[in-house]
Amino acid sequence: MTSCANNSIERETKAQATLILSAFSSLHGLPWHLTTQEVCERARITGWALCSYSDPIADGHQGLTVEDAVSIASEDSGLIYLSRLAVLR
């Protein structure tokens, strides 16, 4: 006979985490004077994917390059967000 404690299985749940650029900057204590490009580069280096929401003109995209994200943000910074797969235990 085995006890439940001996048969415990560590379970992982995966969730998608998303942040807008300003929240990422605040969370990581980045200086306010960084450009959008610098924030996007920092986010990409730390494992975040650059993404854009869809709008009436264009579909949303995941895995943007820094250059594409900066270009979209120059028109509407609210369209850019960061995404990362998080593992919850």
Look at residue 83 and give its three-state secondary structure: strand
Domain total in the chain? 1
CA–CA separation, 65 vs 89, rounded Å? 31
Instruction: Please report whether residue 4 resides in a domain.
Output: no
pLDDT at 4: 47
Query: Can you give the residue range of the structural domain that contains 43?
Result: 13-88
- DSSP symbols for 6-38: TT-----EEEEEEEEHHHHHHHTT--TT--HHH
Q: Give the pLDDT score at 2.
A: 46
- From 12, 23, 31, select the one nearest 83 (Cα to Cα): 23
Q: Is residue 81 part of a domain?
A: yes
Mean pLDDT in consecutive groups of 10 residues from the start of the chain, 89 residues = 50 78 90 92 93 92 95 93 80
